[in-house]
Amino acid sequence: MAPTTTSPASPDIASESLEARPQTDRRIWDQHAVDIRLSLPLPFGHYYLTIVAGRERRSAARRASERSRRPLMTAANMVVLGSFSLLCGLGAYRLLEILTLSALQQRGALAPLW
């Protein structure tokens, strides 16, 4: 069994900080300039996607600590980033294709497709 650590603070202080933490976390999470939250019902289970962006407020030490605990270069992250990049690329290609066909039709170089 792993050894447990105890807080040197009194139980009253510990319970007060636990009660205050959700309010503090909520206040921090509500202050992002971009806050997109999606629930994705997929055939193999429900997943969520959260994208938040805003001004960086964490200290350099905290950023380094979080980088070591949550590395960006994981297999799951690479699959998601690769899929997102592919979808963005296909969308941009399709948009360019539509704009090009529209321009050609307006010049009379191409018969209307619809």
- Reported as a single tens digit per residue, the pLDDT across 50-108 is 888 998 888 999 999 999 998 889 999 999 899 999 999 999 999 999 998 888 777 77
Contact 113, 101 (CB under 8 A): yes
Give pLDDT, residue 82: 96
User: Which stretches does DSSP call E strand in the chain?
Assistant: 34-42, 45-53
Rounded CA-CA distance 31/60 in Å is: 20
Give pLDDT, residue 108: 75
Contact 47, 38 (CB under 8 A): no
Instruction: Fill in the amino acid letter for 105.
Output: Q
Give pLDDT, residue 12: 52
